Structure 1
Amino acid sequence: MADLRGGDLSRLRQLNSLTAIRALRRAGPLTLSALAERTGLSRPSMKEVTDELMGLGWVEEVPPSPGTMGRPARRYRFRADSGYLVGVDIGGHNIRAALSDLDGEILAETRQPVLPDAPLEERLAAIERAVEGCLTLSRTSVSDLWTVAVGTIGVIDVEGRVIYSAAVPAWRDLDLAGRLREMFPCPVLVENDSRLAAMAETRRGVAQGARDVVFLHVGLRMGAGLVIDGKVHRGFGAAAGEVAMLPESRWFDAPEHLNTCACVPEGVPPEDAAGHTLAAARNGDPVAIACVERYVDDLAVGTAAMVLILDPQMVVLGGGFSRSSDVLLEPLRRRLEKRCMRMPEVRASTLGDECVVVGAIEYAVAHLDDQLFPADRGPLPVVR
């Protein structure tokens, strides 16, 4: 941090501005007195900072509430609507997109179906349609976007290239970040979907406040995301959590216990077979229950390994199958209790199918904070 003892007033104003913005983003709208109290600045100093931020376009005065009597104190808020963020979840069967303001409040969501074996250009076109749908619903344009954050299945390197993807063959060795930057005139971030889902659960879901979390992304394919000391863990080569790649974990083929269960009637689409098995198990079908038990046997192997290594506070069951947590959680707990030295909490996701797209929005917000509001950056730009 800069040494302010020598009277670097421009640096001091910059730090005061960043402090004010952080306070307004967390708790706005605030009066000058409340803002001064939260930031530790004097009221006159806070007035100068607020006037400067209003001139730059980062802050605006909030009109008094209708019916307010007398002369109300002026209140100020961070202009979260001065730009927009997009989060995208690229799954095997669906593309989900969400648009939010700069604080991460989601304003519009859309979904585009896509086949797992769809050609590359068709899948990329579905992504573009999903984002365009959000823009249309929110009455914004692509030029209003500040960041697009994408979560996708597969092993993703630090540059946003898909190194490996068993579920989507067209994704392999694809510079996904590069292709998406051709679509959108703003920064594009690409991350593994399980890691974004883990981020979402710790920021907005069942794991809020937990510092060490194993997120199980269970659905038509298996994945995991790790949170260590409050931060999503990527690993040295961005391959942390890829337990499914270990054959002994039995994760790669585990969903087949549900997909090929004898209780599934003929004619049920492959993508709906597992859901049918889980529903039948909930209704007491012994054949379905046996298939679920075999599935949880496999799920518990990789989960126990991660619990023994990380000793997490919580294991979160998320992804498409988390809708059936009532038939999966207790069998999983029983198996972990037999294998683990210390039993963590085992909870179901509260975000369900939305966990990846919500995590993508959170990732975009974090990127915005890192780029625009760190203490060591230059002066804030003007926004309109």
Structure 2
Amino acid sequence: MLKATTPRGRCLEGLREVRVATIRELAARTGLSRPTVEALIADIEAEGLVDGDVAPAPPSSGGGRPARRYRFRAERHHVVGLDLSDVRLRVAVANLAGDIVHTDIDGPASPRTGTADLAPLRAHVLRAFDAARLPHGTLAGVTVAVPGIVGGDGRLSRSPAVREWQGVDIAGRLTEVFGCRVTVENDLVLAAGAEATLGASRFADTSLYLLTWFHVSARLVLGGRVHLGRHHQAGELLALRVLAGPVRGDEGPWEHIEATDARLAAGGPEGLRLAEELTDRMALAVGGLLAAVDPDLVVLGGRLGRYADLLVPMLRPKVAAQLNLPFEYPIVGHALGELDVSLGGVLRSFDTVGAGLLRSPDVSTPVITLREHAPA
């Protein structure tokens, strides 16, 4: 279903959906007259967004000259979601039609200090372009996911992982590094949006996306939109010290996550004890959130989403006990796995630069398609 209201927008959306069409087919799809479509396609072809040099349509039964076909040039531009929120960089690359043409969840180490050189971030994205055989010049927009609170001005107001970036115009610096528009956003906001659009909660009117360790952070999705709150920190229960829980020994946030992950992955009695302790701490905060918002679905994301089969059966009855309810809330693991943040970044990049790339302000975000050949 086309969402654009202008003739140009409808023409672009219609061709983007079917990829290849004749003027007649496009007129029928958009509800526009054939002369209007023909004039629009001529302009769009001159801009490099349409290729008219494709095999003509088969002739009709009545004979006559085969109709010329036009192809939407999805490869003209690419947008990127770059995830800095975990130990290693993760990236997803999409073309103008929304096809995910490359993914990588095992990149180099994420920056752990704000004084780090930002050039390696661009180098990693360009290596992804090389791996997918994409021209570097087609890079048109990047959304960078960071752990921390990103204010309405795009600056980090609080980031426990990279404190030196607090208050810094990191989006401006990255825009200079990449040479294209760069948006910076909180990792949970992007992950929750991706799961609501593409993943586990896409059929839920209200959902709660959880990112937990010994603390709980969450994002509420209402009608497909992530609720940010006045100060962009709705759901940041880490701010409540009584719920934060201790970090063991002298471990910093990165080392703590890695150590906890390793213990869960090892399994055995020690892994089970840790899972019980984690879900005990999670239940109090999650129960409070559920009592406040009563969502249709709860999604366990982040790295703990790997262990949903272990944690969810423990967490459901503990949350129900906290709330004294005769039923258990549906809690599931994230459907997009460790790409949820990067895919959320792709969606945000389209929201930010997509209409500008197509020179039509009413063009909608394309349907994101995970192609099987995109390496993970």
- Find the counterpart in structure 1 of residue 337 from structure 2: 352
The answer to whether the Cα contact below 8 Å between 2:181 and 2:353 also exists between their aligned partners in 1 is no
Q: Deviations over 1:196-252 (max 9, x none)?
A: 01111122222223232211123587532221111122222222221221123x245
Q: Secondary structure at the match of 1:52?
A: helix
Deviations 1:55-92, CA, capped at 9 Å, x for gaps: 333333473499x7887654434322111212110124
Partner of 2:114: 120
1:328 partnered with 2:311: yes
**Conserved? CA contact 1:164–1:172, under 8 Å:** yes
**Cα deviation code 1:131-180 (max 9, x no counterpart):** 23223324445543221111100111122211111123333333211221
Structure 1 stretches lacking a partner, 5+ long: 1-12, 260-268, 377-384
Distance 2:230 2:283 in 1: 26
How many residues are paired up?
347
Contact kept? 1:314, 1:345, Cα under 8 Å: yes
Q: Is the 8 A contact 2:195 2:340 kept in 1?
A: yes
TM-score by length of 1: 0.79
Bigger drift between 184-193 and 19-28 goes to: 19-28
Which deviates the most, 166-175 or 229-238?
A: 166-175
Structure 1 residue 316: Cα displacement: 0.9
Q: Of the candidates 6, 12, 15, which is equivalent to residue 6 of structure 2? A: 15
Aligned residue in 2 for 1:196: 190
Q: Which residue of 1 aligns with 2:368?
A: none
User: Bigger relative contact order, structure 1 or 2, given CA contacts below 8 A and separation 6+?
Assistant: 2
Change (3 A) 1:82 1:58: same
Percent of aligned positions with the same letter in both sequences? 30
Q: Which region of structure 1 is more displaced relative to structure 2, 285-294 or 149-158?
A: 285-294
- Which residue does the alignment assign to 1:373? 360
Say what the alpha-carbon RMSD is for the aligned residues: 3.2
- Residue 39 (structure 1) aligned to one of 30, 34, 41: 30
C-alpha distance in 2, partners of 1:294/1:18? 53
Letter of the structure 2 residue corresponding to residue 328 of structure 1: L
Counterparts in 2 of 1:115 and 1:27: CA distance versus 1, 3 Å: closer
Is the alpha carbon distance of 1:170 and 1:40 closer, same or farther for their aligned partners in structure 2, counting shifts above 3 Å? same
Q: Which runs of structure 2 are paired with 1:17-96 in the superposition (5 Å)?
A: 17-61=8-52, 63-64=54-55, 74-96=68-90
SS of the counterpart of 2:142? strand
Q: Is the 8 A contact 1:96 1:130 kept in 2?
A: no
Are the counterparts in 2 of residues 219 and 320 from structure 1 also a CA contact under 8 Å?
no
Change (3 A) 1:75 1:199: farther
SS of residue in 2 equivalent to 1:45:
helix
Distance across 1 between alignment mates of 2:154 and 2:336:
25
Q: What is the DSSP-based 3-state SS (H/G/I as helix, E as strand, rest coil) of the residue aligned with 1:214?
A: strand
- The one-character-per-residue Cα deviations of 1:317-368 (angstroms, maximum 9, x if unpaired) are 1111111111011112112333456754322112211111111011111223
Q: SS at 2:201's partner residue?
A: coil
Match of 2:139 among 138, 141, 145: 145
Q: 1:203 to 1:141 in 2, by over 3 A?
A: same
